[in-house]
Amino acid sequence: MKIFPPSLVLLALAFPAPAAEQPNILFLFSDDHALRTIGCYEGSINKTPNLDRIAGEGAIFNSSFNVNSICCPSRAAIMTGKHSHANGITGNGSPWNGKQWVYPRELGKAGYQTSLIGKWHLKGNPTDEFQHWEILAGKGGQGSYYNPQFLSAAGPSRVEGYSTDIITDKAIDWLDGRDKTKPFLLCAQYKVPHIHRIPSPKHMGAYDDVEFPIPDTLFDDFKTRQPFVADTWMALKGMKGDVLNIAPSKEVLAVDPSKTPKFLQEMTAAQRDAWHTAYDPRNKKFRALKLEGEDAVRYTYQRFIKDYVRCIDGLDENVGRILAYLDKNGLSKNTIVIYSSDQGFLTGEHGWAEKRWMYEESFKSPLLVRWPGTIKPGSKIDALVQNIDLAPTLLTAAGLAVPDEVHGRALQPILGGTTPGNWRKDILYTYYDGGIPGARGAYNMPRHMGVRDGRYKLIHYFDHNAWEFYDLEKDPKELSNIYDPTQSEGEIARLKTRYTELKTQFGVTNPPALKPKPKKKRRQP
Ligand code: CA
């Protein structure tokens, strides 16, 4: 046995082996990004060369899903690697318990420098989850697209400019100023393309001569679905005014400044001029059209999707800036680059412009990962993955053990291009941020849970004792609910069993029944 002199042992204890094998991690994240607006995804309607570069030099995940497709629950699930009931963030109003276990704090303890810049959105500011944080503040944590306010441990500050550009500037500044002897975890989390979508002045003028393809299901009649599904408040046709960038013209506002909408009030004179130059002619045309019925829906879709894609153009450009920084500074080879979004988005499918549902467009998230030496360039990964898998994946990458309490699974076994036989065959979904008639929740949404495997999907509307069932191979657009309550064998019964087993596995119980809303008291005459 080799005996080391005590001085060497002490030295080794004081300076643990430099973890040269610990890769840097760049986590690029957006808010509400639909897969069909990323160039490398099948059926894409636009170009995103920089996001595509991540996939081209790494992998595109075609079956990446959420555990709960809404903003705050998704962010909490990623940080904790757990389903919503276990991390406490079941809905957008849930208070964040920052003392609970989160993967960034563990990376920090293991020698990483950790930083979060951009949209945090949880109810409760960060404390020590990240060593450095600068988050968008105001508007319930949504922040502003223009001249946004940031909050950091040092206090609030307002920065002139456009949110996507500023978040990138801050991310690059942090990379520049970091301790270059340590590995880093940098989460750059963008606000785009969340509603109310205002593109940067650079991209506002695009697409006037373009008509984007309309989803086949825009005019879904909901014939086979549960009746309350059609009753939710997220129809694209209901969008109007500010959220479509329809507002009074520069001339009108010059005469009556009191009509200036809040989003224009937040802009500098130059930014407002850019907005009027881009949108006043469009709005003039719109007012002359006086559209009704399906024509009005088609028009609204075009206004909506064009602003959506313009916001993505700004995102893609800024992703390119960060990738170029990595190249220039010799960091591309030893940095894992991940691009994802807090959920997907229904961009007109079923007539909606929202998320929340277990339907594919919102249940899925984009996931692109570049990981030199681990992922072969150009990989396409179809295995079922969920956002709770990111925490265990990154811990494992850093050489750390994954605690048993974490629900997700490290993705390393599927990154080589083949899916081992023991990989998960199905995934559980839970959505709690809703209501029932008489106890309306957000968007008049029904609460629901369900299970999806490689082919089938079972949705349980537990407040209504109602079910839906889809064969995604025959009906990928989920137009035909084929739930049959009399079927006691076959796929429906099999998925019902798996639904019960998965709920037991993760400790999920149906939440308490919603209390009816109190009736408004009538005033005495
Ligand atoms: Ca979101």
CA of 197 to the centre of ligand 1 (A): 13
pLDDT-above-70 percentage for the chain: 93
Picking from 39-43, 55-59, 462-466, which range would have the lowest pLDDT averaged per residue? 462-466
CA of 194 to the centre of ligand 1 (A): 7
CA of 191 to the centre of ligand 1 (A): 9
CA of 33 to the centre of ligand 1 (A): 8
Is residue 8 predicted with pLDDT exceeding 60? Answer: no
CA distances from 4 to 1, 8, 286, 442, 490 (A): 10, 6, 81, 64, 66
- Token output for 226: 């549960």
Preceding peptide of 196 cis, ω within 30°: yes
Is residue 5 predicted with pLDDT exceeding 60? Answer: no
Predicted pLDDT of residue 15: 45
CA of 161 to the centre of ligand 1 (A): 22
* H and E: helices and strands count for the chain: 13, 18
Predicted pLDDT of residue 440: 55
CA of 354 to the centre of ligand 1 (A): 9
Average pLDDT of span 486-511: 94
Q: pTM for this structure? A: 0.94
Contact 120, 126 (CB under 8 A): yes
CA of 187 to the centre of ligand 1 (A): 16
CA of 32 to the centre of ligand 1 (A): 4
Alpha-helix residue ranges (DSSP H) falling in 38-183: 49-56, 71-80, 84-87, 103-109, 163-177
pLDDT, tens only, 315-341: 999 999 999 999 999 999 999 999 999
Predicted pLDDT of residue 12: 45
CA of 94 to the centre of ligand 1 (A): 15
Contact 253, 290 (CB under 8 A): no
CA of 359 to the centre of ligand 1 (A): 15
Predicted pLDDT of residue 519: 60
CA of 307 to the centre of ligand 1 (A): 16
CA of 378 to the centre of ligand 1 (A): 28
| Residue 431 burial (C-beta neighbours within 10 Å; 0-12, 13-18, 19+) | buried
Is residue 122 predicted with pLDDT exceeding 90? Answer: yes
Query: 441 pLDDT band (50/70/90 cuts)?
Result: low
3-state secondary structure of 344: coil
Q: Where are the beta strands (DSSP E) in 251-378?
A: 335-341, 346-347, 353-354, 367-370
pLDDT, tens only, 214-241: 999 999 999 999 888 988 889 999 999 9
The 3-class SS string of 193-243 reads: CCCCCCCCCCCCCCCCCCCCCCCCCCCCCCCCCCHHHCCCCCEHHHCCHHH
CA of 73 to the centre of ligand 1 (A): 9
Average pLDDT of span 302-314: 98
CA of 122 to the centre of ligand 1 (A): 12
Predicted pLDDT of residue 33: 98
CA of 399 to the centre of ligand 1 (A): 31
* Mean per-residue pLDDT of the chain: 93
Task: Set out the domains of the chain in order of their start, with CATH numbers.
Answer: 22-198+306-416 (3.40.720.10), 235-302 (no CATH), 427-506 (3.30.1120.10)
Let me know the angle formed at the C-alpha of 62 by 23 and 489, rounded to the nearest 5 degrees. Answer: 125
CA of 31 to the centre of ligand 1 (A): 4
pLDDT, tens only, 134-167: 999 999 899 999 999 999 999 999 999 999 999 9
CA of 501 to the centre of ligand 1 (A): 29
CA of 182 to the centre of ligand 1 (A): 32
CA of 119 to the centre of ligand 1 (A): 10
Q: Which residue has the higher pLDDT, 271 or 19?
A: 271
Q: Give the pairing of strands 335-341 and 184-189.
A: unpaired
Is residue 489 predicted with pLDDT exceeding 90? Answer: no
CA 426 to CA 504: how far, in whole Å? 14
- Token output for 26: 């760049």
